[in-house]
Structure 1
């Protein structure tokens, strides 16, 4: 009862804010808590400027940190909201007023267990950026033999009180997801509860800056031999759960084309490096930066690309990368049957559906996009439209691919800003073809087969050991089951069916007394 009251109260606040922005359509579409939505209509405003997605973004921005992050997460769900609303949510600005320097000092000193003056020789009290999760300050470390003048760093500090607010709001989101799955069975294939769980995991990682530092460190290792792309070095001695310190980047934002040209750099090289780096993240490493917008990507004086902000990352296992490669190769070569078969092989489309029908759907999506001039072809938009037609074939949502599609869309946006007449995937085509040949050709399949055999061989001694132990126990004492196992094997009675006869008796007794 307490949970219900708490969630309804919070939902009422959210509904009122959405009503003021004329953005109640999201709650209406979910089809849950209709009385709350209806009551909130009293506060609704008409003729609010902007498209529906823009009005929703404004409402979420007013609702605070969790709502802002959730709106950004929803921006990858074009299958749920439609492409226009998802695109508008992608523009949701993750900016909040900065919190006071006194709190910054308290958090740093508490986290690193030293006075601020012992940790940094200089610390700028004015933040250079303030977002929903954290804000960033510039600082200089004390002199060392390696850095006689100190090292210039960027210090990220977690926003105070965030964990409590997030716990409250995530409980509401889980409750709404459960209601959606109960009240709207057709939406279960979109995995609302799993989507919330993925969102929770993502934000939980963001709220522990040690995880973000570890992500930066891992990506730095992945690219340590690549001279075209790098990651700022982590200062682990000045990093904790609520504080992260990285080397400060000196470079140009990737979307400031005029300054890049003025610095003597070629924008085509910049986009080629970005495309190669993103392709390596996704297909070579299976670990990619999921928020590589222009504010997180810089060009150093020698042309090297540098990424920052590793709070939102994505992972793809090897099998998913193979299926994704099959899909992309099929689309690029116009082999739509191959695209369809990749979906069925991966188990993303139920086996009882028509391969021919899905092939036709893939063609209907791809032909209008792949027939455009080269510079206008968007692989990300192609994937987004593919996810939108999945309802016909009961294809379950694949959250990891939805995140990838959003990341590709952002990366393509960077490419079009820097070099509008060039297709960034065409620049990366030699690398794409090499990867395809190595991983989807005969040698790649042979290597996968050998990996499977090797994995099975490694597990075989353990399997034989367990089998031998089980055989010894059975020969000595017979087959014995744990009491909990026996209990679980007994037929379970539905509690409703157990109570129902007594309830009927009570009703009949009441009727007899009344007569």
Structure 2
């Protein structure tokens, strides 16, 4: 376990890295454009992004822990982060060095309360996988345990020694960085950084509780118990604790291993839509979904051919249920409507669905965004991944320039669990495109959306009945509310606010303060220049001091715009 000195050094190193890169970003992306040097920021952006990703890559490999998870998340955000970052961080998980087996043995024996030779008939010292929070070894259960569990070949996941303390330190550092970002209006207007880190913290703490992962695996298996497309490993509860997990060895063909799939007679182009459909079911129907469906966590398992059956002769086998998400019913309804709108190329419907999901605040003016989505569907809707790659990059750039300000000006927020939803969808799209470069997501969305539309029609009567009850409740309570309002008017206790007027007054106050600062700057600068001829030290001090009101005049109040 890391000592207190190593813990403090780790904490400081993360904060130094974050502080330096935030300062660099502020200088290039906020300060230089304000003084008319936007071209400098744009010319150096690609190089800066690549250098940042390279340095973070080194930091993550060196420190491990949650830094690997942060890098993995950034590498999956192909939709918002530039390729200079996502490409550099794509292979992070595969580079995690394993823990020596001697340390793994000590931890596992302490958890299980017995020597490994008694817990398992055999266990391979060479890990089959090493991840940021733990690593996995193949093993075989004893004859008695095999008879009780029905399992013979198993995989034993063991946490990295001291990972609890490392996670605590990393979360403390991330909370500090979130506090810094919360003071940047450009960020805080769009993202609740504290809530974002707390959601990441909850997910991370659940990942290092293997009892929680085992329970997730059994719940996921129950969700797909009658589904021939999906299989899930069984848990050997007798050999499972909070830091040791023993489960059925279901190792098969990695979902993106095209050569192995072809050797087994499986067409990758058939696997892509099946995988997308299973993920759609999790997100839009079940509401309990695998939030980390990267290729290492999905196998394609060949199955015996059943004569007369139309089912494919293979299954999708999911493993690693440490990172799971739950879609609340309200969010699920919004996501279903979003999917239907996307399939219908309905720009207005898409924006309405995004609002219902909670990503857009109710006060957002979405007219321009609706127009942008309509044009986006008209130009690029229905294109597959391969087709999009053939589109002239200037078209994407022109579209971004035309509507980028619309997206940036809207008040976005991230609802609970939405980070995991985005991650799951991003990884799903990436896996499907790796299986089939010509895979067209619309081809999977449209039949699924058609099914959802049929389901939604079946719920119309229920929705109308619910609305009728709500309206009746409002009508019953209306006389009492009117009477209360009349009483408050008589007492003079009704307060009326005008947000627009308040904003204008606040803006005038900020402008007045900046004018005063500008006058003070000029006075100090001139006084310093005059006095410097007779008293060089005092004059220089006055001239240096003039920088403070200058900075206030330049930047105060900008955050409130």
Give the Cα–Cα distance (whole angstroms) in 2 for the partners of residues 149 and 314 of structure 1: 30
Do the aligned partners of 1:260 and 1:267 also contact (CA within 8 Å) in 2?
yes
2:297 is the counterpart of 1:272: no
2:418 is the counterpart of 1:407: no
Taking a change above 3 Å as real, the CA distance of residues 304 and 450 of structure 1, as seen in their structure-2 partners, is: farther
1:82-117 per-position Cα deviation (integer Å, ceiling 9, x unaligned): 575356545432543222222222222222222222
Residue in structure 2 matched with residue 504 of structure 1 by the alignment: none
Do the aligned partners of 1:349 and 1:394 also contact (CA within 8 Å) in 2?
yes
Give the drift of 1:329: 1.7
2:29 is the counterpart of 1:25: no
Give the drift of 1:148: 11
Give the Cα–Cα distance (whole angstroms) in 1 for the partners of residues 215 and 464 of structure 2: 32
Do the aligned partners of 1:128 and 1:136 also contact (CA within 8 Å) in 2?
yes
Residue in structure 1 matched with residue 209 of structure 2 by the alignment: 208
Do the aligned partners of 2:120 and 2:141 also contact (CA within 8 Å) in 1?
yes
Residue in structure 1 matched with residue 451 of structure 2 by the alignment: 434
Could you tell me which of 332, 336, 346 is aligned with 2:347?
336
Out of 160-169 and 424-433, give the one that drifted further: 424-433
Do the aligned partners of 2:351 and 2:369 also contact (CA within 8 Å) in 1?
yes
Give the Cα–Cα distance (whole angstroms) in 2 for the partners of residues 84 and 445 of structure 1: 47
Do the aligned partners of 1:137 and 1:155 also contact (CA within 8 Å) in 2?
yes
Do the aligned partners of 2:384 and 2:438 also contact (CA within 8 Å) in 1?
no
Give the drift of 1:327: 1.7
1:210-229 per-position Cα deviation (integer Å, ceiling 9, x unaligned): 11111111111111111111
Do the aligned partners of 2:154 and 2:247 also contact (CA within 8 Å) in 1?
yes
Q: Note the aligned Cα RMSD (angstroms).
A: 3.6
Residue in structure 1 matched with residue 435 of structure 2 by the alignment: 418
Do the aligned partners of 1:72 and 1:89 also contact (CA within 8 Å) in 2?
yes
Give the drift of 1:29: 3.4
2:63 is the counterpart of 1:63: yes
Q: TM-score, normalised by structure 2?
A: 0.67
Give the Cα–Cα distance (whole angstroms) in 1 for the partners of residues 149 and 183 of structure 2: 63
Equivalent position SS for 1:233: coil
Do the aligned partners of 1:76 and 1:403 also contact (CA within 8 Å) in 2?
no
1:123-138 equivalent positions in 2, closer than 5 A: 123-138=123-138
Do the aligned partners of 2:299 and 2:316 also contact (CA within 8 Å) in 1?
yes
Residue in structure 2 matched with residue 348 of structure 1 by the alignment: 359
2:459 is the counterpart of 1:444: yes
Give the Cα–Cα distance (whole angstroms) in 2 for the partners of residues 387 and 276 of structure 1: 31
Out of 301-310 and 388-397, give the one that drifted further: 388-397
Could you tell me which of 324, 337, 342 is aligned with 2:335?
324
Out of 337-346 and 298-307, give the one that drifted further: 337-346
Do the aligned partners of 1:155 and 1:245 also contact (CA within 8 Å) in 2?
yes
Give the Cα–Cα distance (whole angstroms) in 1 for the partners of residues 444 and 468 of structure 2: 37
Unaligned ranges ≥5, structure 2: 28-46, 304-313, 390-395, 471-561
Q: TM-score, normalised by structure 1?
A: 0.73
Taking a change above 3 Å as real, the CA distance of residues 268 and 203 of structure 1, as seen in their structure-2 partners, is: same
1:47-196 equivalent positions in 2, closer than 5 A: 50=50, 52-75=52-75, 85-86=85-86, 88-93=88-93, 95-144=95-144, 146=147, 151-184=152-185, 186-196=187-197
Do the aligned partners of 1:286 and 1:315 also contact (CA within 8 Å) in 2?
yes
Taking a change above 3 Å as real, the CA distance of residues 336 and 246 of structure 1, as seen in their structure-2 partners, is: same
Give the Cα–Cα distance (whole angstroms) in 1 for the partners of residues 423 and 99 of structure 2: 30
Taking a change above 3 Å as real, the CA distance of residues 374 and 237 of structure 1, as seen in their structure-2 partners, is: same
Higher-Rg structure is 2
Equivalent position SS for 2:114: coil
Do the aligned partners of 2:358 and 2:413 also contact (CA within 8 Å) in 1?
no
Give the Cα–Cα distance (whole angstroms) in 1 for the partners of residues 24 and 152 of structure 2: 53
Give the Cα–Cα distance (whole angstroms) in 2 for the partners of residues 395 and 423 of structure 1: 28
Give the Cα–Cα distance (whole angstroms) in 2 for the partners of residues 368 and 239 of structure 1: 53
Unaligned ranges ≥5, structure 1: 32-46, 456-515
Give the drift of 1:239: 0.8
Equivalent position SS for 2:183: helix
Equivalent position SS for 2:383: coil
Give the Cα–Cα distance (whole angstroms) in 1 for the partners of residues 48 and 116 of structure 2: 47
2:381 is the counterpart of 1:370: yes
Give the Cα–Cα distance (whole angstroms) in 1 for the partners of residues 14 and 409 of structure 2: 33
Residue in structure 2 matched with residue 508 of structure 1 by the alignment: none
Do the aligned partners of 2:111 and 2:244 also contact (CA within 8 Å) in 1?
yes
Taking a change above 3 Å as real, the CA distance of residues 175 and 452 of structure 1, as seen in their structure-2 partners, is: farther
Give the drift of 1:454: 11
Give the Cα–Cα distance (whole angstroms) in 2 for the partners of residues 234 and 451 of structure 1: 42
Residue in structure 1 matched with residue 323 of structure 2 by the alignment: 312
Equivalent position SS for 1:300: strand
